[in-house]
Structure 1
Amino acid sequence: MAFYTLGLTFGIVIALTVATLAIWIYGLYFNFKKWGMGSTGYQDELRNSFWLFIATWIHQAFKDGVWVFVKTLILDVLLLRRTLRRSPIRWVMHMTIFYGFVALAAMSGFALFMDIIEHFNLLGLAHEAEMVKEMMALPFDIFGYLLLFGATIGVARRIFLREVRSRTSAYDVVLLGGVFLITITGFYAQWMRGNSFLVGDVFAYPIYAPHFALVHTILALALFVVILPWSKYMHIIAAPMTILANRGGE
């Protein structure tokens, strides 16, 4: 468990994971309940209701049938066809950031599950769990580079394009800059461990790898747990739900 050093023990990682999930679940509940207050056509005592919002959203999303819902989900949410129509560069940026982030988040969760199996030797599968984690190293690097590519496009557009730069707010700087820093620190921590995809041992310096891993973890928790559920960045959930509720369209 070389990754969990500098005080970042396995127990602390599990505790942080539980706390992260709890904050996200409560954040979703808080926002859904808040959005439910905007519902119309219902009795006032039901307006401030989490379940009212869920029921209303399901009704709207499936109003034209399952096929329309699936079509909208694939074309407008997963493939971002509306963004592609407006700007191919923005489409590439959004696609690489979205799928890079989602894939890394999913694999991180699965890797943590493998860590639990290895740590407690559940069902005697500690060795197999360690092998699975080793096999995940390449996919981690590939999707990491994908996320870094998208984040770099986003940063470059806001630096070099005057029109984009003039519309950039502090919120945009925090989110995009945070994603960029999180990706860079994660990569550098991995590069310092050595044997990394594309760069090999060029940046190998194992003694400092845990420091960058810790910085990477703190930045990720600060941005995606403390900021995202309580700011306008909830649009990463609100926007797809709005598109689905409207059954596509503009």
Structure 2
Amino acid sequence: MDFKTFISATSGFFLILILSSHSFGQNQEIQINNNQIPEMSELQEEESLECMECHREANIDSNEGVLSSQAFCLDCHKEKDCITEKDGIELSLQLTRETFIKNLPIHQYVACTECHTDVARSPHRTETGSQCTGCHSVHGEAAAHAPHLRVECQACHFKSEHVKLDKSDHMIKLAQENNAGKPISLVEHKLADTSDEESCQKCHSLDNSVGAPAAVLPSKGAICILCHAAPLKIGHWMFGAALLVFLGGLLLCFRSWFQGNVQGESESLSRKINLSSESVWSTVFSKQFFSIVKIFILDILLQRRILKESVSRWSMHSLIFLSILLRFALGLFTAAIFTANPDNGVAIALIDKNAPFTAFTYDLLGLLILFGIIWSVIKRFIVKPEYVVSEYKDNIALVIIGALIVLGFVLEGARILVAGVPASIAGYAFVGYPLSKCFAIFGQEWWASFYSVLWYLHAGVGALFIAWLPFGKMRHIFTVPLTYFIEAVSKVKRGEADSPQRQQ
């Protein structure tokens, strides 16, 4: 063996030795790393694995993508052996596309993950359920007679008679068990016909377990907006009748007012209206507009003229008038903001009777109105100062407003009791909640059956109040501001009977 051959063989030997040791080290490192890889079950215990972190998600903004996404889910769920087990009972999770389209045709081009937002993961189970409000807005009273904010969508819209009250979050939900406590499957996605009031009887029936009134009640009407958050619709027929009487009385009231002299015209009603309208529009676009604004703020809202006459009379009057005005303004604001954007957090809070601000504010303003009524009654029938002239129209107005407020508080207390609203939520209704505790001595079931009677009594008195406004003493809500405005603009002569200085 020559020297070159020896050197080549030796170099090759050492090269093979080095490569072998390096390969052994890599294998050992791989073995060590493999030993450090946790089992899948360990990963599942630590955190869930999102499927779409690795798998490509279809474009569910297109019909093709939706069908692809549905096919991905139905690839397993279409099989008969797609089952789950709960409390030792096997429940089928089988759902074919044909069944899905038959039971839920309106959603046939909606991807499963659009509703079931948290199921595309391992472990393959949901924590939140289907999320309807991802696409659908919260509905107000017009759609379902009440906002139903403490009721999950599926409880009403799924065709299942089993519902439950979850006391952990005080929400009414679709039950996963039947009345016997055995698990049931809801995989067929059947929707109820919510236009049929029979579907409401799963909650609104005697001896229901979710704290709902025993009868399906109408929604509020537009006239209720004077004191409540209400939809801009007629509502029950008695609200429509009250509105017609109110409008008719208002026309008669204005016609009576125009019997005076308007800028020298004393005969033609149409001429008086035209002259007054011309004066109003010319004032709006003139420097006098600011005088009108001043009159509106000082003499109408803040009632400066009454304050000059008597501080006590102004205080009593303001408790009633300003509180009603503030509730009316809040109702108008709620209707406007909810109509513009029903998903707005402020709008949802304002239509929620249990929201802290809403419950506290409405109770406070209602209590101030009641204080004003009590003060007025004491002054008229007990103190009886010489300058106070009590008429039957005054007494009727006091009785109607007082009854309306008292019935409202009783109704609120009954609602809190029947619904079982916990103190942490209902406590902001500082009048209604204590009343609910007092009412508890009669039993929750009794109030649940009597609640509908209370509702119709309150609604009837409210309709009577609206209908009575243009005919009773309360008509000065309209006539006095109109008198102030046109007196400043067109120098209208007014009779002593309509004088705002007249003692009440």
Q: Does TM, normalized by the shorter one, top 0.5?
A: yes
Of the candidates 218, 226, 239, which is equivalent to residue 460 of structure 2? 218
The alpha carbon displacement at 1:72 in A equals 1.6
CA distance in 1, matches of 2:215, 2:335: 18
Number of the residue aligned with 1:100? 323
1:170 corresponding residue in structure 2: 392
Match of 2:487 among 241, 246, 250: 246
Structure 1 residue 132: Cα displacement: 3.5
Cα–Cα, structure 1 residues 161 and 95, in superposed 2: closer, same or farther, change >3 Å?
same
- What does 1:83-94 correspond to in 2, within 5 Å? 83-94=306-317
Judged with a 3 Å threshold, the aligned counterparts in structure 2 of structure 1 residues 239 and 198 are, in CA distance, closer, same or farther, namely same
- When residues 190 and 108 of structure 1 are mapped into structure 2, their CA distance, relative to the original with a 3 A threshold, is farther
Write the distance in 1 (CA, Å) between the matches of 2:344 and 2:218: 18
Measure, in 1, the Cα distance between the counterparts of 2:379 and 2:361: 27
Partner of 2:218: 9
Once the two structures are superposed, residues 119-165 of structure 1 have per-residue CA deviations (whole angstroms, 9 ceiling, x without a partner) of: xxx98859986544223222211211121121121112112212269
Q: CA RMSD in A?
A: 3.9
Which residue of structure 2 aligns with residue 203 of structure 1? 438
Where structure 1 has 5 or more consecutive residues not aligned to the other structure, the ranges are none
Distance 2:279 2:246 in 1: 20
1:133/1:43 CA distance change after superposition, 3 Å: closer
Letter in 2 for 1:10: S
Residues 234 and 176 of structure 1: CA distance in aligned 2, closer, same or farther (over 3 Å): same
Identity of aligned residues (%): 21
Instruction: Please say which structure displays the higher CA radius of gyration.
Output: 2
Q: 366, 369, 379: which one pairs with 1:157?
A: 379
Shift of 1:108: 4.6
**CA distance, structure 2, for counterparts of residue 247 and residue 33 of structure 1:** 20
Give the equivalent residue in structure 2 for 1:230.
471
Q: Are the structure 2 counterparts of residues 126 and 58 from structure 1 closer, same or farther at C-alpha, using a change threshold of 3 Å? A: closer
Query: Is 2:406 aligned against 1:184?
Result: yes
TM-score (norm 1): 0.76
Q: Distance in 2 between matches of 1:66 and 1:112?
A: 28
Q: How does 1:131-142 map to 2 (within 5 A)?
A: 131-134=349-352, 135=355, 136-142=358-364
1:28 aligned to 2:250? yes
Greater relative contact order, per chain length (Cα 8 Å cut-off, separation 6+): 1
Query: Contact between 1:84 and 1:91, CA under 8 Å: does it hold in 2?
Result: yes
Aligned-partner SS, 1:39: coil
Which range moves more in the overlay, 186-195 or 29-38?
A: 29-38
Which amino acid is 2:288 matched to? G
Task: Determine the C-alpha separation between the residues in 2 that align with 1:213 and 1:165.
Answer: 39
Q: Which moved more, 1:106-115 or 1:204-213?
A: 106-115
The 8 Å contact of residues 36 and 50 in structure 1, kept in 2 or not, is answered as yes
Shift of 1:110: 6.1
- Provide the C-alpha distance between the structure 2 equivalents of 1:78 and 1:123, rounded to a whole number of angstroms: 30
Structure-1 residue corresponding to 2:300: 77
Equivalent residue letter for 2:458 = H
Q: For residue 438 of structure 2, give the secondary structure of its aligned residue in structure 1.
A: coil
Structure number with higher helix proportion: 1
- The residue that corresponds to 2:78 in the other structure is none
Distance 2:415 2:391 in 1: 36
